[in-house]
A = this chain, B = another copy of it.
Amino acid sequence: MSDFFRSGSKGRTFKAFWDEMGNSVNLKELSQRLQLSQTTVSRALNGYPEVSPATRARVAEMAEQLGYMPNSQARRLATGRSMAIGHVIPRSIHEMMNPIFLEFIAGAGETYSKHGYDMILSVVEDADEEEAYRQIATRKKADGVIIHGPSRTEHRHKLLQGLNLPFVVHGRIPGAEEETSWIDMNNRRAFERATNLLLDLGHTRIALLNGLEYMDFAHRRREGFENALAARNLTADPELMRSADMTEPFGCDNAISMLRLDNPPTAFLVSSMITAIGVARAVGQCGLQTGKDVSIITHDDALSFLPNSGEVPIFTCTRSSVRYAGQKAAELLLDMISDPFQKPSSLHLDAELIIGQSTGPAP
């Protein structure tokens, strides 16, 4: 900061005046000072080949000197591309996925910045979600959108298809896998592997603390859990399965009540670090030891404020960076936008299974 009043000696007064006003040069002014047409200046700046090197250099220098930047609105209007990606966040989804969501957004945002795109975020009441998408499409606010948190009975993709608005799904829409572009983590497999690990350790009473199961991801996780049990001729005890918003108290309260059962679980499979922390608290409150009396495996979205790394992570976990997913989703979408006739593509990420301090052989 601080050199924002600098300018070429020749343009001193002029530039200083504008800067003072917070104004900036536009194409017309720039071209006038260069004694060139707007056309040529525009072409020079946008890298069109037919401009002579000399001219281009001259233009570039002056533009730099005057701090010229094209007005986005004008450019958008002229090109018909808004150079922005929309994210619509209905209140419910935001409340539920809060931190995970931000991490995803951050990843996507990095990609957008790199490619000169803006991110526009609409936080709306659930009832206004459809309208928000309509506006994005009709008022041309964004060139594409990301669908967050698809449910098992998803419908947003139909709306978007009808609006002819490109989109990428974070997660998967059951039944529309082929016709949509998406990026998802292999939830079923991750939870199957995690369950197997617990089974291998001798646990048979395993509790599942899952996200809301009308959400596609949570449903898949449960399938993975149940499949693994079934493969060993076990069936899940309904008493040991809960699903809700993945808060800390959800983990703690349920773990406590389960640990007080006559036949308590010896292990917990948990859908989020936050909930897992709650479980760990419960374990402590019951006078038990995590990793010894009770094992915990959690899914870890690799959130920056909940690090679970170090030589031996606190929690044994299935880990998949949701930030990375955000980056990739954005790349996918920008690709689709640049080539509208591409067919849908998708990315399936595998979670790592990482051994930490929270698991051990069944007591």
Contact check, A103 vs B109: say whether CB atoms are below 8 A apart. Answer: no
Q: A89-B106, A307-B247 are in contact. Are A135 and B69 (CB under 8 A)?
A: yes
Structural contact, A303 and B121, CB atoms closer than 8 A:
no
Instruction: Please tell me if the beta carbons of B1 and A159 are within 8 angstroms of each other in the complex.
Output: yes
| A-B pairs with beta carbons under 8 Å apart, 13 shown | A1-B159, A2-B158, A22-B137, A22-B162, A72-B140, A89-B106, A95-B305, A101-B102, A106-B123, A119-B123, A121-B121, A247-B305, A280-B281
A168 within 8 A of B: no
User: Distance in Å from the Cβ of A340 to the closest Cβ of chain B?
Assistant: 11
A98/B103 in contact, CB under 8 A: yes
Residue of B nearest to A111 (CB): B123
Annotate A124-147 by CB proximity to B: 1 below 8 A, 0 otherwise.
100010101011011111000000
| Contact of A113 with B by CB under 8 A | yes
How many copies of this chain does the complex contain? 2
A313–chain B nearest beta-carbon distance, Å: 10
Residues of B within 8 A of A52 (CB): none
Chain B residue contacts of A162, Cβ below 8 A? 1, 4-5, 19, 22
A57 to B101, CA, bound (A): 43
Contact of A277 among B67, B77, B140, B277 (CB under 8 A): B277
Q: Is A189 an interface residue (CB 8 A)?
A: no
Inter-chain CA distance A73–B79, complex, in Å, is 11
Please report A residues at the B interface, Cβ cutoff 8 Å: 1-2, 4-5, 19, 21-24, 67, 69-74, 76-77, 82, 84, 89, 94-96, 98-99, 101-103, 105-106, 109-110, 112-113, 118-124, 128, 130, 132, 134-135, 137-141, 155-156, 158-159, 162-165, 245-249, 274, 277, 280-281, 284-285, 303-307, 310, 314
A314 touches B249 (CB 8 A): yes
The residue on B at minimum CB distance from A156 is: B1
Q: Whole-angstrom distance between the alpha carbons of A74 and B80 in the complex?
A: 10
Quote the shortest CB–CB distance from A133 to chain B (angstroms): 9
- Report the minimal beta-carbon distance from A166 to chain B, rounded to whole angstroms: 10
Q: Which of B89, B96, B113, B140 contacts A71 (CB 8 A)?
A: B140
A67, A112, A141 — which one has the most chain B CB atoms within 10 A of its CB? A141
| Partner of A306 from B73, B74, B164, B274 at Cβ < 8 Å | B274
Q: Which of B96, B110, B122 contacts A113 (CB 8 A)?
A: B122
The answer to whether A109 touches B122, judged by C-beta atoms less than 8 angstroms apart, is: yes
A42 to B122 alpha-carbon distance, docked (Å): 26
CA distance A248 to B98 in the complex (A): 17
Contact B98 A123 (CB under 8 A): no
Bound complex: CA A207 to CA B109 (Å)? 38
Say yes or no: B67 contacts A71, CB within 8 Å: no
From B84, B106, B245, B284, give the contact of A305 (CB < 8 A). Answer: B245
- How far apart sit A106 and B123, CA to CA, in the bound complex (Å)? 6
Q: Nearest Cβ in chain B — how far from A121, in angstroms?
A: 5
Max chain B C-beta neighbours (<10 A), residue from A22, A130, A249: A22
Select one of B67, B109, B130, B138 contacting A67, CB under 8 A: B138
